[in-house]
Each structure stands twice: as C-alpha cells, then as structure tokens.
Amino acid sequence: MAPYPLRPDYTLPNTLPNISRWILYPILFILGLVAMAVAMAAVVLILTYPNLPSLDILTDYRPKVPLRVYTVDNHLIGEFGEERRAVVRIQDVPDVMKQAILAAEDERFYQHSGVDAQGVVRAALSNLLGGGKRQGASTITQQVAKNFFLSSEKTYARKLYEALLSFKIENNLSKDQIFELYINQIFLGQRAYGFGAAAPIYFGKSLQELSIAEAAMLAGLPKAPSAFNPVVNPKRASLRQQYVLRRMHELGFIDSKQHDAALKQVLVVKRDTNEFVVHAEFVAEMARQMAAERFPEEVYTRGLRVYTTILKSDQEAAYNSLRRGVLDYDRRHGYRGAEAYVEMSDIKSEQDEALDELLQDFHDSEDLHPAIVLHADAKQIRAYRRGGEIVTINSDGLKFAARMIDDKAPPNKRLRRGAVIRVQTDDKNNWRITQMPEVESAFLSADPQNGAIRSLVGGFDFNRNKFNHTTQAWRQPGSSFKPFIYSGALEKGFTPASIVHDDPISFPASVTGSQAWEPKNYDGKYEGAMRMRTALAKSKNMVSIRLLQASGVHFIQDYATRFGFDADKHPPYLTMALGAGSVTPWQMVTAYAVFANGGYRIAPYIVREIQDEKGQALALAQPVTAGDESLRAIDPRNAYLMDSMLRDVTIYGTAARASATLKRRDLAGKTGTTNEHVDAWFCGYQQTVVGCSWIGFDQPKNMGNGETGGSAALPAWIAYMAKVLKDVPESFMPQPEGLVALEIAGSGKGPAKEFFYKENVPTSVEPEPEQDQNAKPID
C-alpha cells in the first residue's frame, strides 16, 4: 500500500502544453523568419536576376593581350603591355595543371552549380570553430564573376551579387568554358595574367612542359599572388606548394611516389629581367615605337604581333660578339675597383635575407653577376650572390683585381667587406672577378640586296643604357669614310693604279678657312709615291687628303649623299678626308651595302609585318631590291673597283686579320679610327651580308693608345661573320661591262692586273715605286 494514497478523483497536472509552447513557438518564429528571408530573397532574385550584367564579355572573351615582337623566324623578343598574357584553349592545358588548380581552388568545381553549398558549410564551421574568418569558399565560377564584373570589396551585398552572377554564368556556359576563362584571366603576380603567361615568366617553360611540382607552385598563386610569389617570397611559396601537392594526393590526382618526388624537386625560378631566349631589346623597342605610332589606341591591349627582319642566329652572334669585344677591351685597361659599397653593420650571417635587399638596385648583366664581398684578403674573396649563393674566388680569379685588394688601394675603390663587385665563371666554371665596362658599342648587319636588318645591338646592356647607338649616335667615322672619297675620285678620272704621294702636307689658314692645318699619318711615317689601291689598304691620310683636294670638296660632299649620308653633317673642308663628319652605324651599313650589291642604294628596314590578334596583316614592308636601275647610286664599274680595293684591305691592309682568321678572300671593308682614338670602327661585307662595328665612350674621350679600328672594332665583326658565314661559300662580284684589264708591274710581287674604265685606259701604266715592306699599317 502506498504511504500516501491518492484520492480517486485526483489527476496529474497537464504540463505538456506548457513545454510544447516553449519549444514550438521559437521554432515557428525561426521558420517564419526563414520564410520571410526566402520570400525576400525570391523577390530580390526576381528583381535582380534580370538586371544582372550581360555575359557578352564572357561569351565574346577579348582579353587585354600585350603587343608582342618576334624575329623573322618566329622567336619572341619583346612584350609590351600592362598585362602579360598568353591565351590558351582548355584542351591545350595539361591535366596536371588543371588538377593542381582544382586541388588548390575548387575541388568540387565539376559537381556544384556555381556556389558550393558544402564548401560554404565547411568554411563556416571552420571559421566558427577557429574563432575568426580563416577560410573562404569562393568557387572558380565565383572568382570568374568577381574578376570580370565586380570589385574586390568584402560585403554581403557583393557576395550575394557574386552568387547570383555565378548561377547565371553556370546556366549559360559549360564548365570547360568557365574553367578556360579562369585559367586565362586570373592574376598570378609578376604582371602575369593567366597560367599560359605565368609558366614562361616563372619557369621559362610552356604549360605543356611543367612538372607536377611546378604546376603546384603556380596553382598556389591565385589565393595571394604577392604573398606566395616564388620570386619575392620563396619560403611562403614553398609552403603553399606543399599544401597544393598534399591536396592533389588526397584527391587522387597523384600517387604517393609522385607526391614525394614533387616535394623533393628543386625548382629553378627565373629571377632575371630578360625572359626572352634572344637578346634583342633594342630591336623590340624600335618595333614597339613603330607599332605605337601606327596604332596608338590599342597597341598594348589588342594583341598585335610585330614581325621584325631579325634572324635569331644572327642576333645571338651579334650580341655575343659585341659583348666579347667590349669585355676584352675593358680587361686590357685594368680593374677600376668596387662598383659601390653597402652598409653591412646589421648583417647577422652569410645567409641574412637583408643581403638580397641590398642587391636589389644592382641588376645582372647576362653573365656579369653583382655580389657583395663578405670577406677579402690577398688569397681569397668570399661574396654573396642574389639568391643565397656564396661565391669563393681565389688564385687566377683574383688576378684581374689584385691591385684593388691591397691595403694601399684607394679607399673608395678597395675590395673589402661590403664592396659590390661583379663575378662571372671562366671556361673551367671557376669564379673570377670582372666589372661592368664603361665603354659602349654597337653592331648592325643587313642584307645588302634588300636592306633587311639581320642583327642589331644598340649597346652593351639595354637595361643600363637604352640609348640606341646604331640609330641615335652621331659619331666621327674616321678612316671608315675614306672609301667614299676614293669612289668619288674614280668618278673624277682616278684609277686604282693612279700614283698619289704620301708625303707631309700643310695648309695655311687661308685655305682651311679657320687655322693652319698640318695633318699627319697615324704612325708619323710617310712612304712617298704609291698607287691609290695601296694607299687605301694602308689607310694613308695624306693620299686621302690629296684625292679629296683634287676631286673637289663640294663634289665629294654631294657625292656622299648618293650613299645615304647627310651633306650638312659633312662640311666641305679637307678634314672630310679623315672622316671628321658625323654618321650613324645605320648610315654606314646603308653606304657599304652600295659597294656590296654592285652600286644600288637600298633602304634598310627592321619591321617586316604587323598583324592583328587574328593573324591578319595590318601593315607590310615594301622593301626596295638591288637590281632596279632606278635605285642605282654609282656606276657598276665603280662598285666593282671599290669592292676589289676593299678586299685588299682585308687581305693585306689594316684589316688583314679578317681574311687570315676566317680563311676566305671574299671579305671587304675598311677600318676607322678618329683623332685621339675617340671612335673605332670596322665596316665591311661579304656579298650576302654587310655589317658595321663601332666602339667608343658616350662622352667622347681617348680609348687609349693602340685602340684602333683594327684592334678594338674589327674583332666583333670577325666573330659575327665567323658564325653567319660558316656554311656560306665564297662568292665574288661579276665583272661588269666597260672595264679593261691591263697587266702592270707590281712592287716586287711580279706582274699584276689592274682594271680601268674603258674610256680612261692609259697608254702606259707607271709602275708603283718600291715601298718599305716592313712598314705596318696602323689604322
């Protein structure tokens, strides 16, 4: 029996309705709010969706494609535009790149409909549990919507708009179309837009050549292009790459073996400023200027392609030959000391990251690398190179700079801790000290038949000095101008066999128009009477002056314009005989081409064609070709005789080194050295190519005794011709009509044949006087 029996009419209190109200009402309230939100969202959707922007910008995708410049054989040499972009089709993107992007950015891209609900929930939980906003959930489609239509502000209104746009994009485009837009539009740092542009910029490769490790590195960039940039933040970039590789492994895109191999791969990230395989910066800039002048409105966004006349092999030969010639000259004149000094008091170790910051103002010049001296003594120098490499230089590598390591060296040039130096590897791959040269140079070559420029190097280093010496530098040509005086003399009745005196000469002020003038030969030696042919080969100043005086200065001034020279740049004075006027290397190539092609004035050109983004020609060059008699500049007999005399220059004259080195007798040209050794030239040709080499200081000054056209300029010309004429057979100009050959007595060399204009055949030919066979030409 219960201790407390209940009354028969007693019932338990009804508490269930009260409990239900406490639970049910809040649920109903929440459901009501949800319903209202859904209704409001539906209203917003109904009102907003039709007003979303048109997708024409996506369906008719026209990205800002930069202006690109190519060699004639289709090698990229320049790119200009705010956005560096290479548009690729989705089918041309390798699977490993697609997989890396999906693993990093949107693994469910091919499952969701624009907004990934699972991703949103996952990100929300992660952020809630993590105590802050740490993870985003934007899909690839949402990123496309944002990049094309929206700002980067982080507001709920923009996110809603982004979601609505994503749904619209998904309803109108296929997944592959959306993915292709993303791959081409996304910003990846280093001014690279799209993965097609990023691959060559970061790794010097095409997308198809990327390894798994490299693809993962690029795929990690969209999240934060600055933070994960392997050029400026290699450590953070590596951590991001490891994350992408882990996700690729978890998703089954790569197996464990591939994952581990990718982690171990050492990536070689490009850090230099030149991303092109051909050094043709001056050419690219010339092409850019021409395109901008012709198509100023969209030149950097329309995707124009400029095809130059440059040949890759010729350009490389010219670039390497010029640099070798300049560096050889520079080494002949000794080491000048430290390039600069940096503050090292805050440097804690040899791997201090601040060392890279100290080097940021010193760019690499091809193989001339800047480095900071960490320790220096007479036996060894240790220096830091950009990127963390410690360079050790000893024995032979120190010889060039030995006098600047000594304690007696000038304090502002001595090599000590904190000094910035230049280092390069020698033929045995050992480090040695070098320096940036102060002297400048230029090299230009062309096809003498139609004027197409085959190579152009406007200076030693475009990044240091953008002044184009081939077209902008007006310099005195020195003796390289003499052939045009000799050519004019032939028109006045002189012949290669004419005897002219190489004796001292002086002119009073009444003749020169200013002051008395007593010109001299370079070596101060005079050989008396000699044939005109011999005088040109030996570059005799006295003979050139007498020929100019006999021909008439005004006649020669006007005659030189036939070759492309400006009359006002060559005042009608006798100093013209010594090349005291002003020329550019471009003019010199134009002029020497007349001798090479048989007497025709051609017009050098460097841009062959400009195409639009679809490959349609917008502009085509209209070259003039030798053989058209309307282009004739000089009598073909004159050209033939000058060619013969200029070949003598390279066989036994001031440029004899050319034929001796290249083992061929079809080379022709002339050395040139100006007063006080300020400018040195060699201009010459073989029938298939004409080239000009110049060297000198931007602020004219003496280059040093012995630095003549034959020693300072000719080596670069020879090195270039050695490359481009390697498989070219010897060829000689055919003899034109109207010439008569006579055998004449040589100077101890036996009978010789000389040519004369038919109307000027002499009744007898005076033998050339005996010359001093030990006399060596200087110029």
- Whether the CB-CB separation of 499 and 530 falls below 8 Å is answered with yes
105 in catalytic set? yes
Work out the mean pLDDT of the chain and round it to a whole number: 88
Q: What is the mean pLDDT of residues 400-422?
A: 94
- CA 738 to chain centroid: 48
Residue 747 CB neighbour total at 10 angstroms: 15
| pLDDT digit string, tens, across residues 33-86 | 666 666 655 555 554 555 566 676 666 667 788 999 999 999 999 999 888 888
Are 729 and 753 in contact, with CB atoms under 8 Å apart? no
Q: Residue 167's pLDDT band (boundaries 50, 70, 90)?
A: confident
Distance CA 352, CA 344 (A): 11
The active-site residue, picked from 79, 105, 214, 440, is 105
- Say which DSSP state 461 is in: -
Which of 124-128, 299-303, 675-679, 707-711 has the lowest average pLDDT?
124-128
Rounded CA separation 337/420 (Å) = 9
Q: Out of 166, 365, 479, 551, which one is annotated catalytic?
A: 479
Element (H, E) at 199: helix 195-203
Report CA dihedral (517, 518, 520, 525) to the nearest 10 degrees.
170
Q: How far apart are CA 723 and CA 721, in angstroms?
A: 5
pLDDT classification of 147: cutoffs 50, 70, 90: confident
Closest CA to 331 of 368, 371, 280: 368
How big is the CA angle at 275 (ends 271 and 281), to the nearest 5 degrees? Answer: 120
pLDDT class of 582 with cuts at 50, 70, 90: very high
What is the side-by-side order of every strand in the sheet holding 67-70? 76-80, 67-70, 305-308, 607-611, 617-620
pLDDT band at 508 (very low <50, low <70, confident <90, very high): confident
What pTM was computed for the model?
0.82
What is the C-alpha separation between 713 and 185, in angstroms, rounded? 49
Rounded percentage of the chain residues whose pLDDT exceeds 70: 86
Q: What's the pLDDT at 52?
A: 63
CA proximity to 631, closest of 598, 588, 596: 598
Structure-block tokens of residue 366: 């091809």
Structure-block tokens of residue 428: 């045995």
Residue 146 has pLDDT above 60, yes or no: yes
The pLDDT of residue 750: 42
Q: Using a pLDDT cut of 90, give the percent of the chain over it.
A: 67
**DSSP for residue 513:** S
Report residue 749's pLDDT band, with 50, 70 and 90 as the boundaries.
very low
More confident residue, 692 or 361: 692
Instruction: Tell me the torsion sign for CA atoms 250, 255, 260, 261.
Output: negative
Surface-to-core class of residue 254, CB atoms within 10 Å of its CB (0-12 exposed, 13-18 middle, 19+ buried): buried
Query: For 238, which DSSP code?
Result: H
- The pLDDT value given to residue 4: 45
Helix (H, G, I), strand (E, B) or coil at 64: coil
Tell me the two tokens of residue 758: 């038919």
Contact criterion met (CB below 8 Å) for 592 and 671: no
Q: Which of 224-233, 396-405, 739-748, 757-766 has the lowest mean pLDDT?
A: 739-748
Return the pLDDT at 133: 46
Show contacts of 250-254: CB within 8 Å, 24+ apart.
251/99, 251/102, 251/103, 251/107, 253/96, 253/99, 253/100, 253/102, 253/103, 254/99, 254/212
- Residue 693's SS3 state is strand
| pLDDT of 1 over the 50 cut | no
Lowest model confidence (mean pLDDT) among 110-114, 217-221, 240-244, 620-624: 110-114
Over residues 166-176, the mean pLDDT reads: 87
Following DSSP, what letter does each residue of 90-117 receive, concatenated?
GGGS-HHHHHHHHHHH-TTTTTSSSS-H
Give residue 36's pLDDT: 67
Find out whether 81 and 64 touch, Cβ atoms under 8 Å.
yes
Query: What torsion do the CA atoms of 130, 136, 137, 140 make, to the nearest 10 degrees?
Result: -160
pLDDT tops 70 at residue 437 = yes
Can you read off the two tokens belonging to residue 539?
């570059």
pLDDT at 119 over 90: no
Which H or E element spans position 217? helix 212-219
| Helices of type H across 372-453 | none
pLDDT attached to residue 47: 47
Buried b (16+ CB within 10 A) or exposed e, 547-578: bbeebebeebbebbebbbbeeeebebbbbbbb
Check: CB of residue 359 under 8 Å from CB of residue 386.
yes
Give the 3-state secondary structure of 557-580. HHHHHHHCCCHHHCCCCHHHHHCC
Measured from the Cβ of residue 662, the count of other Cβ atoms closer than 10 Å reads 18
Q: Name the residue with higher pLDDT: 319 or 130.
A: 319
pLDDT at 374: 95
Question: Measured between alpha carbons, how far is 484 from 588 in angstroms, rounded to an integer?
Answer: 11
Task: Tell me the two tokens of residue 214.
Answer: 């490299």
Would you list the DSSP string of 303-339? --EEEES--HHHHHHHHHHHHHHHHHHHHHT-----S
Quickly list H helices, 527-635. 532-538, 541-551, 553-560, 585-596
**What whole-number distance in Å separates Cα of residue 373 and Cα of residue 384?**
6
Q: Is 730 a catalytic residue?
A: no
Neighbours of 762 (CB within 10 A): 14
| pLDDT over 60 at 445, yes or no | yes
pLDDT confidence tier of residue 2, bands split at 50, 70 and 90: very low
pLDDT average, residue stretch 665-679 = 96
Residue 269 · residue 203 · CB < 8 Å: yes
Q: What is the pLDDT of residue 512?
A: 64
